[in-house]
Structure 1
Amino acid sequence: MSAAGERIVAVAETWIGTPYRHQGATRGIGCDCIGLIRGIWRELYGEEPEPVAHYAPDWAERGGEDRMAEAGIRLFGPALGVGQMQPGDLLLFRWRPDTMVKHAGIFVGPSHFIHAYEQVAVTRSVLVPSWRRKIAAVHRFPTARDEGQSPASK
């Protein structure tokens, strides 16, 4: 595991047990899957890469835009192949091939990921075949060029 991946996994593990709360992004208080990624990003880079607009619980079913997939590319760069997954990578999921990306988690390897699971909490889950089939994209967190500065602010 790379040093960056090890740090990301360690940060993600500190979120385990945080209650699920739609649009939340506070460790120990509440978060959804987007909030979990936002919180990890803040700890890595000191600030969020961009403001997050309000989103309804059914946001992925509305509007026809694949906002989460687009944000993945915009903030993390081109997607990697599933075979290239390394601990600390961002996983984006879609429930069916014809739907928008709707869920995110952190791969912790070799067969687990951490995610904010609705009606549960932030948890470590086994990346069973049914979850693996839903992976829409794998992204690696960008490397900050200057300590404490977000790569997206460059």
Structure 2
Amino acid sequence: MNPYVTEARRWIGTPYLHQADTRSAGTDCLGLVRGVWRHVLGAEPETVPPYTADWSEPSGDEVLWRAARRWLVPQADLIPRTGDVLLFRMRANSVAKHLGIFSGEARFIHAYTGHGVIESPLSTPWASRLVARFAFPERI
């Protein structure tokens, strides 16, 4: 089993809490990816500054996408592989601001407002929002 998926599944049921990153207590989508990173790879490579729920939509600044490119390994296509971090744009012409971890079999694990950490089908509506795919690094 993929270690990133195994750890992400341990977070299922964690309530949604903006800017949080603690399994069972609360997390958002970035906190889930950070928590999985810490469990599998060790210490995070940088401190995450405070961020708003709109992820800089008014300015159009792709803050989350830039951070993902800094620490994760960009993949050339949008065909997910087990353990990949998926980046989504929630609305057309807005910044990418949602992350999930592909768990295989056309499913992904993510922390979603009002639902907490869940495993969802990578359905057509979700797949149409996918804008980038990243692998976790071997080690930092």
Shorter-chain TM-score category?
over 0.9
Greater per-residue strand proportion = 2
Listed as ranges, the gaps of 5+ residues in structure 2 are none
Q: Alpha-carbon deviations, 1:50-95, whole Å to 9, x = none?
A: 1101111223313321011111111113333112x21100000002
SS of corresponding position for 1:107: strand
Contact 1:60 1:101 in 2 (8 A): no
Matched residues in 2 for 1:81 and 1:121: separation? 28
**Residue 114 of structure 1, aligned match among 93, 96, 109:** 109
Runs ≥4 residues deviating over 2 A: 77-80
SS of corresponding position for 2:71: helix
Q: Alpha-carbon deviations, 1:13-42, whole Å to 9, x = none?
A: 000000000000000000000100110111
Q: Structure 1 residue 79 and structure 2 residue 75: aligned?
A: yes
Flag the structure with larger Rg: 1
Q: CA RMSD in A?
A: 1.2
TM-score of the superposition, structure 2-length normalised?
0.94
Q: Which residue of 1 aligns with 2:35?
A: 39
Q: Which residue of 2 aligns with 1:21?
A: 17
User: Would you say how many aligned residue pairs link Structure 1 and Structure 2?
Assistant: 140
In structure 2, relative to structure 1, the CA distance for the partners of 1:58 and 1:97 (3 Å cut) is closer
Greater per-residue helix proportion = 1
Listed as ranges, the gaps of 5+ residues in structure 1 are 145-150
